[in-house]
Structure 1
Amino acid sequence: MMARFGDLDDYLDPGLKLTVRGKEYTLPLPSAELGIWCRRIALMAGEAGAASTDEELAEATTRARIRAAELPPLPGAERLEFEQLLLGEVHAEMMRDGIPDPYIQFCAQTAYVWIVGGEDQAERYWTSGGHPEARGPDNRATRRAAARKTSTDAASTTSSQGSTSGTSSRPKSAGSGRARRSRGRRS
């Protein structure tokens, strides 16, 4: 007997929720055509879903905007901009709410990452602000505190020299000191 699964709507969220200036916008699930269109861009521009660093992810979204203009438009969407295609009705809602253009562009790029790479990639892109060097609002203070902690931890764990009586123990390696320093070079 064949296994029967429950309704997929019970397992998938209805879309991506983005909060902009205190208001939550829900992007609907993309149409099949939009998903295919975005994946074509990803293949042309460099896969956003395979980006391992925030910098690679940001570069992939930039290339996607450029490559989108090179693809034939989606049927019925010949006159729509990249942001309108990706945000759908949410684009018009953001315009009515007076959301600035850079915010709308960023939301559209996040939607692209979501379609191509999934929720985890979209969250990485969103929380980095699309800039790998900006990892959060408190990044500078956090990095400095971490650096101070690391340097004090290193200082407290440094071992002191055991004996200064002039004797030394033999090297544990069976080879000569010269061979040990060569870092694998063979002569």
Structure 2
Amino acid sequence: MGFEALGELLDEALTLPLGGKPYRVPAPSAEVGLLTQALVHAAAVAADGGRADEQVLADAAERNHYQDVLGPAYDEMLADGVSWPELKHAALTCMVWIAQDRTAAERFWNSGGDPNRLAPNRAARRRSGGASSTKNPASGSGTSTPPAPAHAKAKGKRRK
């Protein structure tokens, strides 16, 4: 049987709709992919209070990473006069795609980049079965009787 040509198996590209126009973003080079992975990891470390890899950040600062991840769509977007927020969102979506996968990139794109819209809300968790009203077996009935006040205990012990 043998291996088929990988290029025929993988049609890795994103099509991002901006202003009614679809922009096709091809898969990045291995170099851009590796740098993107390192940048995303450095950002996650910094977000968790750690120290980001300064060499990775310096390498990214020397390049226009948005242009790298958007490929030919970058020049097309500039020529069409897309806004800065649109260009930034498109580039960050591509970074999510490169670092994770297409599904994560779609979620990011459709959330508008808002982290609050990325996390499922309570209603969605209920629909998905994430929330449960079943009581923990160790919890008993879920109610308890408050202890009697100290002065009531003392009255019960007195003899008349």
TM-score (norm 2): 0.62
User: Which residue matches 2:148?
Assistant: none
**Number of matched residues?**
122
- Identity among equivalent positions (%) equals 34
1:110 corresponds to 2:93: yes
User: Which residue matches 1:4?
Assistant: 2
1:87 corresponds to 2:47: no
Higher helix share: 2
2:140 to 180, 184, 187: 180
The answer to whether the Cα contact below 8 Å between 1:16 and 1:26 also exists between their aligned partners in 2 is yes
Alignment partners' CA distance in 1, 2:23 and 2:64: 19
- 1:67: Cα distance to partner? 7.7
- 1:118: Cα distance to partner? 0.9
Alignment partners' CA distance in 2, 1:182 and 1:95: 61
Answer 1 or 2: higher relative contact order, Cα 8 Å, separation at least 6: 1
Alpha carbons of 1:96 and 1:6: their partners in 2 closer, same or farther (altered >3 Å)?
same
User: Which residue matches 2:59?
Assistant: 73
Alignment partners' CA distance in 2, 1:68 and 1:98: 33
Alignment partners' CA distance in 2, 1:16 and 1:87: 10
Encode CA deviations 1:40-93: one digit per residue, 9 max, x unaligned: 11221228xxxxxxxxxxx89xxxxx989952436xx93x43322221221111
Alignment partners' CA distance in 2, 1:68 and 1:10: 38
Match of 1:92, as an amino acid?
Answer: D
User: Which residue matches 1:101?
Assistant: 84
The answer to whether the Cα contact below 8 Å between 2:36 and 2:98 also exists between their aligned partners in 1 is yes
Match of 2:67, as an amino acid?
Answer: Q
TM-score (norm 1): 0.54
Encode CA deviations 1:112-157: one digit per residue, 9 max, x unaligned: 000000101101101111114447xxxxxxx7xx9xxx9xxxxxxx
Alignment partners' CA distance in 1, 2:39 and 2:26: 20
Encode CA deviations 1:88-109: one digit per residue, 9 max, x unaligned: 2211110110111110000000
